Amino acid sequence: MKYLITIVGPTAIGKTSLSIALAQHFNCDIISCDSRQFFKEMQIGTAVPSTEELAGAQHHFIQNKSIFENYTVGDFEKEAIAKLDELFLTNDYVVMVGGSGLYVDAVLKGFDDFPEIDASVREEVTSNYEKLGIEYLQTELEKLDPNYFEVVAKENPQRMMRALEVCIGTGKPYSSFLNQKKNTRNFTPIHIGLEAERSVIYDRINQRVDIMINEGLLTEAEGLLPHKDLNALQTVGYRELFRYFEGEISLEFAIEEIKKNTRRFAKRQLTWFKRNENTKWFDYLTNRKDIIKYIENDLV
């Protein structure tokens, strides 16, 4: 039997630390499914594991792509499944960790099949977005698919445009096409979630943002400013600083916006992950030994 130990939870909750502890205990590798840590140009703002953490266990899908590559969740699913097939040849365990719910689901359940959408629909949605802004996407998506609107990254226009295209092109909610097919997997998933009181999560997020600023996030973001329209850079922590560099807002306001938008993101993460009734949730301060004990009991 092969086991994929999957660790989920909101940003800044301690998933990386737990994943390394589990990988060391089970003597196995870690697969990252954080949709922004893939990109080598985005290190500080995506909280890539430190050099010491990366040395603690073999990691995959960390800074392995460029922001200039067109890399989709479908691409990740194919590559991640291929890597899992390879790793399970020599080990019964792999740890998967990340806060990107769509990417976690792609590995566990398979990427969803969507019908082809007429190009005219895509052109209409794109044109309206360019004329009316992101508020158009948010308003229309909330009206046509309130379920998906609840969990989608509302600052990510590409993802909302894609969902809106499907809603308009098919006359059905985008969410109705999610998780329809059941892909066979050669592993048994074990679902672990980390959580905390909301005030604790928010405090940890605020502290992490301050640490990122001190570690050089401004310099990193400024170097990426010429490429700010790339899909990979439609990301909290970068978009706010781009507005600062362009003179729209003050640095103090930009930092507060990063904290606020990251807190909103964490709330959406929890909404997404809490849908999975098979996840065993632990307080983020739970002793690692207790989590390991739960996992090992689950294997019997």
What number is the average pLDDT over the span 41-56? 94
Residue 11 is assigned to a ligand binding site: yes
Residue 169 is assigned to a ligand binding site: no
**E strands, the chain, where?**
3-8, 30-32, 59-60, 93-97, 188-195, 280-283
**Boundaries of domain holding 143:** 119-177
141 vs 158, higher pLDDT: 141
Alpha carbon distance 30, 60 (integer Å): 6
Tokens 């405090």 locate to 203
Residue 146 is assigned to a ligand binding site: no
Given 138, 158, 177, which residue is the final one in a domain? 177
Residues 101 and 132 in one domain: no
Residue 172 is assigned to a ligand binding site: no
Beta carbons of 282 and 192 less than 8 angstroms apart: yes
Residues 167 and 192 in one domain: no
Q: What is the largest CA-CA distance in the chain?
A: 59
pLDDT at 81: 95
Residue 13 is assigned to a ligand binding site: yes
Residue 15 is assigned to a ligand binding site: yes
Number of domains in the chain: 2
Q: Which two tokens stand for residue 66?
A: 């460029």
Residues 64 and 161 in one domain: no
111 — pLDDT class (breaks 50, 70, 90): low
Q: Which two tokens stand for residue 75?
A: 């691409």
Residues 191 and 240 in one domain: yes
User: In terms of DSSP bridges, do strands 188-195 and 30-32 run parallel, antiparallel, or are they unpaired?
Assistant: unpaired
Q: Helix, strand, coil: what percent of the chain each, to 5?
A: 55, 10, 35
Residues 107 and 207 in one domain: yes
Nearest to 96 by CA among 84, 85, 112, 109: 84
Residue 16 is assigned to a ligand binding site: yes
Beta carbons of 211 and 11 less than 8 angstroms apart: no
Report which DSSP code applies to 196. Answer: -
The CATH number covering residue 285 comes to 3.40.50.300
Please give the single-letter amino acid code of residue 185. Answer: R
Confirm whether pTM is higher than 0.85: no
What number is the average pLDDT over the span 22-39? 95
Q: Which two tokens stand for residue 146?
A: 């309130």
What number is the average pLDDT over the span 166-193? 85
What number is the average pLDDT over the span 169-182? 80
Nearest to 218 by CA among 192, 247, 255: 255
Residues 141 and 156 in one domain: yes
Residues 233 and 97 in one domain: yes
Residue 55 is assigned to a ligand binding site: no
Nearest to 97 by CA among 202, 196, 23, 206: 23
* Helix H or strand E segment including 227: none
Residues 172 and 218 in one domain: no
Residues 88 and 101 in one domain: yes
Nearest to 268 by CA among 148, 158, 112: 148
The CATH number covering residue 172 comes to 1.10.20.140
Number of neighbouring beta carbons within 10 Å of residue 254: 22
Rg (CA), the chain: 19
Residues 254 and 149 in one domain: no
What number is the average pLDDT over the span 29-54? 94
C-alpha of 250 from chain center: 28
Residues 280 and 173 in one domain: no
Residues 194 and 268 in one domain: yes
- Give the model confidence (pLDDT) of 54-94 as tens digits: 999 999 999 999 999 988 888 899 999 999 999 999 999 99
